Structure 1
């Protein structure tokens, strides 16, 4: 494949540019591999890949008719920020609980993933709580969903007994126990999480 370099590229600035960036005009440049940029993924389609009703080839996403959303449970632990980024990369977001019905849906999904199926974490207790989409980063004890709504306005604010307790040095990210109750957790702790995705395609079964 022929490519055209951006003018004065490659320059290997500071002898530390070992990655390639595609510029908006179609040319390429060498950049520091530690820089953060938007990215695009590519995967060759095979006969076994099916574009499902969630608008993705990822078979781990499943549409729940009770909420009209698609959900995926991630067993490989990530911290809250990495979990957020993973969901975004998949075209979704950390699950936002908007009702008791949706809490039940996520609780049932959690139950299908028992403790022994979740990859080991530093804290064994993180096998019993998942990262979900809320935090109190802007103002302590003012919990908002990742789309900016107070929990009560979002539709679900049922905390576990004694929570939120803001354990030292500070629990600023949102989680949910296996019983569906909310918890405040340390943002840096790695644990399982659930991504939510709006269905981009409502294909009929015979079209799949």
Structure 2
């Protein structure tokens, strides 16, 4: 997609914000935010843009998000594996993993975790990230990450 001025709207994504790209295989638009932030701040940014943190609904979508991350590796914090980005799920009060829409991961259509995950490392990983196309638990604010936002027109 070409650069849009602030006043142009993407016919596929329906937003004024630059950076959203239509993905026909999933029917959604995605934007990668390379500047690291907490999970809550990432969620708020996506909401402000008219979207949400990306929710993986299929194996196809997990590959789409993996490729978005790989092609946008502008900034890699030195403390982290280079394949992490916040996406739209977290641990609920009852200890189950749910999407930002309140669905279980299985109900959303994708519950494949990276090997050894979720591991709740140091007892502090309650937010969701993607790692090489698979789900991963991650600290909500101690180690900020880039994020991927999604808009489903």
Same fold (TM over 0.5): yes
**Mapped contact 1:126–1:190 kept (Cα < 8 A):** no
Does residue 77 of structure 1 match 2:4? no
Aligned pairs for 1:112-191 within 5 A: 112-114=71-73, 117-118=74-75, 121=77, 124-125=79-80, 127-140=82-95, 142-177=96-131, 179-188=132-141, 189-191=143-145
Whole-angstrom CA distance in 2 between matches of 1:138 and 1:101: 30
Compared CA separation, residues 143 and 89, structure 1 to 2 (3 A)? same
Does residue 59 of structure 1 match 2:18? yes
Mind listing any 5+ residue stretches in structure 1 that lack a counterpart? 1-45, 200-208
Q: How many Å apart are 1:51 and its aligned residue?
A: 1.3
Compared CA separation, residues 195 and 169, structure 1 to 2 (3 A)? same
Q: How many Å apart are 1:168 and its aligned residue?
A: 1.4
From the two aligned structures, give the one with the greater strand fraction. 2
Q: Secondary structure in 2 aligned to 1:60?
A: coil
Mind listing any 5+ residue stretches in structure 2 that lack a counterpart? none
Q: How many Å apart are 1:48 and its aligned residue?
A: 7.2
Higher relative contact order (CA 8 A, sep 6+): 2
Whole-angstrom CA distance in 2 between matches of 1:175 and 1:198: 20
Compared CA separation, residues 74 and 47, structure 1 to 2 (3 A)? closer
Aligned residues: 148
Query: What TM-score results when the alignment is normalised by the length of structure 1?
Result: 0.67
Query: What TM-score results when the alignment is normalised by the length of structure 2?
Result: 0.89
